[in-house]
Structure 1
């Protein structure tokens, strides 16, 4: 039986203001919202609840603040070689899910879907496609990984491009292209495939037709989406469906061309916003009424090249509220261009960009997710990847650069959810006939428009292997906080070649903490408790073996923390799914109290005196700075 089916929840009683969690079949159980009562091992009692949005944050069934971290699975769905599915088989999906949890530290995935595969004939959803998708999604759900499907498109459709084209697309089926009278596709002088979005008249006109519902294209898409979502729900058990976080209605929306007098912001107001309202209604009809829609603004809302950046960000949508999530992408186009950014990224480079995401979500009164971010891993700009990705993860963790984090932690902001592009087992092993052309077989990289961004590949033995520094990808992060996060930072000490990147050193004013951390990795979480029944948990990277992990907190100190019990304030437990990944559990029974926890792998058998000194320093620092 899959772990997610038994990960169903137990046992809470309150006695004299203290939490008591029962671990035996004879215990009395109180079931929290979104959970089903069952007797399970103590180390799993707080898993299995559905995700919702409350007070501008993701929350689980215990009211804990949840952070989603993971990857896009996978660009293979853009290709024809496996029928628009992310994997060639369910076995490959399971291999990918296990590795994503154990090597990549992910607790969530954005799972690509194909309109072309779902509806190859107009008005006829291929029932086999949702069934195959559900079977591959189940591999991730069984590994304790939350999933949010994404109806993906790039350049509108592959069917806009001929066998001899330089580029290709994905998304709309052939019949949707045949309905229009589009010009011969041409990008002119294009160095990057994305230039087709604004330079290829065929792509522009097709996008325009979709947003104006020409030929009933939008109606057809919405009907397809409703049927696909209905069937996905029917193919999953209730417990599995609880692990589905929501759905992304449309990848990277763009107007194509603007009507006279219509700007990006007006287009969002008049066309994109109403589309999301219509999609939301289809979700409700399909039985997804309790899950949010992960809605994206205009593709170029937060582009970091001035000529591309456009006003928007769903400014005129009003408060989105808990039925929607503000969902955006971020790529450093200057770094990718190779000519607009000299040198490499550095501390705080994206603090402003990701701060804008936080601010926009806050104004919309909902949670935020950066559902795509990344950088090429081969080619002339690949040397920038280690610093660009570190700076992006840094900005997800905190809106404050490392150089000023210790002095200004109160400005750290919410920890952002994000899914890196991408996680593709078949990187470098594809056999894709580009646009169906047997003379253009693509095997290199991601096999799509010369991209190469996958964090993983299979080695010669078929073993999943990381292509990026494990210290960068497998990160310490607060996956569930029992209360509200006040500040968080993580110094991963990832590498750029032979150089270890340290952007947030412990200041000399905290000598005990500095000695404890040494040259190791460390993270520091500050949160305010809410009296909830479940503990705070942080994902423990593989580089933090239990036997050499040190925790210094106002809750106590621990070197080599013990296994979880309900009465142990600092403890370690397995993460769900049986992948070998672990989490740190911090239990506090109070409400409204400021707590902190430093987690490091730097010290070897630290003395009680050093632990006490570090605890005193951190307590004084928190009192002065927060």
Structure 2
């Protein structure tokens, strides 16, 4: 087939159906930091997160930003019985690397309904025990967790042994109850087209949302039993690290009834389901934790023919009991034809701004629980720029070109978990749909996807497959007060090209000189009434010996270890993984503060340069806030 003909087919496919990610690039080796003694910091006080004033808030009253990964698509497979890992030891290895290499402080932890309830009405406690043990590995590493009952294409049991595609989610008995016709997607080049074009998938999804055969009731009962099990088998301190629960991955109606729209489906079927799930959370002992609810998965598609009205517009005020939880993939970039070039500065400012606005209107926090791009295949060359632009949009709604001139419009820093963190990438042994003649080993071993940021090398060491400068990022993990603006120039690479989308402007010559060609982040916040410090995650590329901080609270090159009397200091992250954080302590309330953090110099900057940079930043902050 000619390239032109192939591209025309892709365009037609995109315009008539859902195009999903498929896709990974050569590995970039990285070595985990040597684990250190876990920090006894009183700032990691074991209190759960709550939602207040549209932000995640910890027990010290600080705004919390969750950053991390989905753990993991392995749950979709059968090779390890619907678990993210083959063993607790592998989970521990993955958690340590996720902290030390990936800079994460949170994971979306995938669960399988099929394995939690393999027989109708009977919860498999052995599966729940294994889930709990693997989840504990992340909690013990100081990583917050939010579980997700995952599904794609409703269930693998809809697909025959010779099918091109597969699914995950519902158990076999749930499919048997529906007596669905043989699945077929017709001429489908991408697995996501099954969502709207495979009649078996659309009918099964329809039945679930209408509670036909009692399917939804059964799921809710199993969800309650799962949540109760976690309460009973995690310690109070461990359970405090559980953020909330994502009830259902990427919900879609299947088919709409006559006269029904995507918006009325959300109002009449999806939102009542979330209210029922919320009631099960309360009954299981999760009263203080939010439900992380997803709208119709097409509500924010960036392809017009796919986009449907939604976003839980008729749910009213979500408040503290729910979090607006959504996904974002650039389907134009994935198509290979609808976005010819690569992503650039501010590429997704509008898309992620829409997420901020919808959460704000619902008076709740926002979470982007999935985002990513294929790392192999014909569109993988776009991955470095697409991912950089997505992280940029999580940090601020302003492009780099306008951030310094209009920082007050940055909006809140969004929490997000990248798809995905699968240490078995390229080393799977999955019998697709149980077919011993179709053993999948490459990529993520699921519908030709290849999006994992990591893999195991030949020595079984966890190794990054993406630029560490992109993944291990500076971000405000906990802000003592209210975040006013944040930006981070990671200077990640696209091949041999260093991407710089937010250079320090020439109007700040001393700040520019201090940053040089290094990475930098700048946080502006208004202090609150608590006593805990502001915390920023320090990437491994910010060793203490090469980190410079310029703040109204003080300046420091190679900042000292934190003490209660140190306004600018460093400390280990909780969990003993070797990762580190910067702590900034103010002693006031309602006062504006700023802090520039950079690794741009390898020699001690002069006192005059630090003073001059501080003066420039003070004048800039006074003029723009």
Cα separation, 1, equivalents of 2:165 and 2:44: 47
Structure showing greater relative contact order (alpha-carbon pairs closer than 8 Å, 6 or more residues apart): 2
| Contact in 2 for aligned 1:70/1:418 (Cα 8 Å) | yes
CA contact (8 A) 1:330 1:373 kept: yes
- State the match for 1:622 in structure 2: 621
Distance 1:267 1:83 in 2: 34
Residue correspondence of structure 1 range 195-274 to structure 2 within 5 A:
195-274=193-272
Query: In structure 2, what is the equivalent of residue 465 of structure 1?
Result: 463
Q: Which among 54, 57, 60 is matched to residue 56 of structure 1?
A: 54
- Count of residue pairs the alignment pairs up: 587
C-alpha separation in 2, matches of 1:43 and 1:516 = 31
Q: Which moved more, 1:352-361 or 1:228-237?
A: 228-237
Residues 1:401 and 1:264: Cα distance change in structure 2 (over 3 Å) = same
CA positional deviation for 1:181: 2.3
Show the 5 A alignment for 1:227-626. 227-603=225-601, 604-626=603-625
**How much does 1:41 deviate?**
6.4
On the 8 A contact 1:491/1:522 being kept in 2, the answer is yes
3-state DSSP of counterpart to 2:487: strand
CA distance in 2, matches of 1:262, 1:387: 39
**Distance in structure 2 (CA, Å) of the matches to 1:462 and 1:44:** 35
Of residues 100, 111, 114 in structure 1, which corresponds to 2:112? 114
1:47 CA displacement: 3.5
Deviations 1:558-613 (A, max 9, x none): 00000010110000000000000000000001000000000000022111000000
Aligned residue for 1:152? 150
Rounded to whole Å, the distance in 2 between the matches of 1:49 and 1:72 is 23
Partner-residue secondary structure (3-state), 1:457: strand
Q: Is the contact between residue 47 and residue 576 of structure 1 (CA under 8 Å) also seen in structure 2?
A: no
Deviation at 1:312, TM superposition (A): 0.6
From 125, 129, 132, give the equivalent of 1:131: 129
The offset of 1:531, in angstroms, is 2.2
Q: Deviations over 1:111-148 (max 9, x none)?
A: 00000000000000001111110100000000000000
Equivalence for 1:179: 177
Corresponding residue SS for 2:137: helix
Q: Which runs of 5+ in 1 are unaligned?
A: 1-39
Q: Which residue of 1 aligns with 2:9?
A: none
Cα distance in structure 1, aligned partners of 2:47 and 2:497: 42
How big is each residue's C-alpha offset from its partner over 1:471-505, in whole Å with a ceiling of 9 and x where there is no partner?
00000000000000000000000000000000000
- State the shift of 1:44 in Å: 4.3
Instruction: Return the alpha-carbon distance in structure 2 between the equivalents of residues 41 and 137 of structure 1.
Output: 20
CA distances 1:96-123 after superposition (whole Å, capped 9, x unpaired): 0000000000000000000000000000
Instruction: Compute the displacement of 1:48 (Å).
Output: 2.1
TM superposition shift of 1:45: 4.1
RMSD of aligned C-alpha atoms? Answer: 0.8
Q: Would you say the 8 A contact 1:348–1:400 is kept in 2?
A: yes
1:243-268 Cα distance to aligned partner (Å, 9 max, x none): 00000000000000000000000000
2:149 and 2:219 map into 1 onto residues whose CA distance is 10
Distance (whole Å) between structure 2 residues aligned to residue 423 and residue 41 of structure 1: 25
CA contact (8 A) 1:74 1:86 kept: yes
Cα offsets for 1:86-105 (capped at 9, x unmatched): 00000000000000000000
Show structure 2 runs of 5+ residues with no match: 1-37
Tell me the CA shift for residue 190 of structure 1: 1.0
Specify the alignment match of 1:11 in structure 2: none
Give the drift of 1:235.
1.1
* Correspondence 1:101 to 2:109: no
Normalised by the length of structure 2, the TM-score is: 0.93
| 1:346-382, Cα deviation, whole Å (9 max, x unpaired) | 0000000000000000000110000000000000000
**Conservation of the 8 A alpha-carbon contact between 1:72 and 1:109:** yes
